[in-house]
Amino acid sequence: MIHIKELKSGLNIFKALSSEIRIEILTLLTKHDSLNLNDLAKKLNLSNGAITMHIKKLEESGIIDVTTAVGKHGIQKICYINEDILKIELKNKEVQNLNEYQIKVGHYCDFHAEPTCGLATKDSIIGEFDDPRYFADPQHINADIVWLNNGFLEYRIPNYLKTNQNFNEIQFIFELGSEAPSYNNDWPSDIYFYINNIELGFWTSPGDFGDKKGSNNPEWWPPHLNQYGVPKLLRINKNGTFIDGCRISDITISDINLNQKSDIKFKFAVGEKGRNGGLTLYGKNFGNCNHDIIVRILFDLKTED
């Protein structure tokens, strides 16, 4: 995700998007995943020189990436979209009282996993498929993708608040999907969320997606396995618990009863109730979102009596 918090910092992106031809280029790349310069020139009826100029502006903005590959007619430049989401804050409400962390999907502190299950780093599978014993392997902290059909993954969240500070909101941003043998785009799963074993609610994942390669997946990742999930934002504040702005429960931040001495343990769980289609968590080097689990703790200062 490209996140523009100040309008001036996004000038290169705004300039790149100011051309109808460059918008058409992005539309084609969205449809075809990747295209070389010759293909783009033919589809848009442009010269190679003209298409090169437009591609350069898009690449400089960070919206697309360009790589080289050897083809039938020599070295070709391949273009693909670098980020799937562009977020612009028109009115910058800068939050000073914020702690933010990124936690790898393999850096869980507790788990229960039943097949189909497994985990992998960007370089290789950890252990063997469908053997829960490898979830305890020391290498699990480096995993960039974790999947299980039944069970849970629990993460310890840092808590650095001071005695004069109050919790206002906790946010979790992650890429999540179901878990089916191989993959199945139509495989609903009710995935539940907990903080300190307090149930926050659930989100129904529509499937375990594998129809196209995840943009961040390593080259060795088999094409017949799950490829990407759905980006989600979970928020717990004084008004309740929300997924992407939709209320999933009335549990508020005060219901969790946190203070500066509290342990904070966040858990994903499937299988105890609801539709059980498993879960898959995608980290920085898998799926379509180029980040691990993002945690934000928003707080304010206690008022003196």
Secondary-structure class of domain 2-87 per CATH? mainly alpha
More confident call, 6 vs 244: 244
| pLDDT tens per residue, range 129-165 | 999 999 999 999 999 999 999 999 999 999 999 989 9
Q: What is the pLDDT of residue 84?
A: 73
* DSSP single-letter state for residue 99: E
Given a cut of 60, is residue 8 above it in pLDDT? yes
In angstroms, the CA 74 to CA 261 distance is 62
> Residue 303 — very low, low, confident or very high, per pLDDT cuts 50/70/90?
low
Given a cut of 70, is residue 93 above it in pLDDT? no
| pLDDT tens per residue, range 10-38 | 888 888 899 999 999 999 988 887 888 98
* 197 torsion bin: left (phi>0), alpha (psi -120 to 50), beta (else): left
Q: What is the pLDDT of residue 234?
A: 97
Given a cut of 60, is residue 304 above it in pLDDT? no
Kindly list the domain boundaries of the chain, sorted by start residue.
Answer: 2-87, 95-301
Structure tokens at 124: 């290789």
More confident call, 8 vs 205: 205
Given a cut of 90, is residue 72 above it in pLDDT? no
Q: Rounded mean pLDDT of 237-243?
A: 96
Mean pLDDT of the chain: 91
Q: Rounded mean pLDDT of 225-238?
A: 96
Closest by alpha carbon to 288, among 232, 205, 206, 204?
A: 232
Supply the pTM of this predicted model.
0.70
* CA-to-CA separations, 238 to 95, 200, 201, in angstroms, rounded: 17, 13, 15
Q: Rounded mean pLDDT of 202-224?
A: 96
Q: Which CATH superfamily is domain 95-301 in?
A: Galactose-binding domain-like (2.60.120.260)
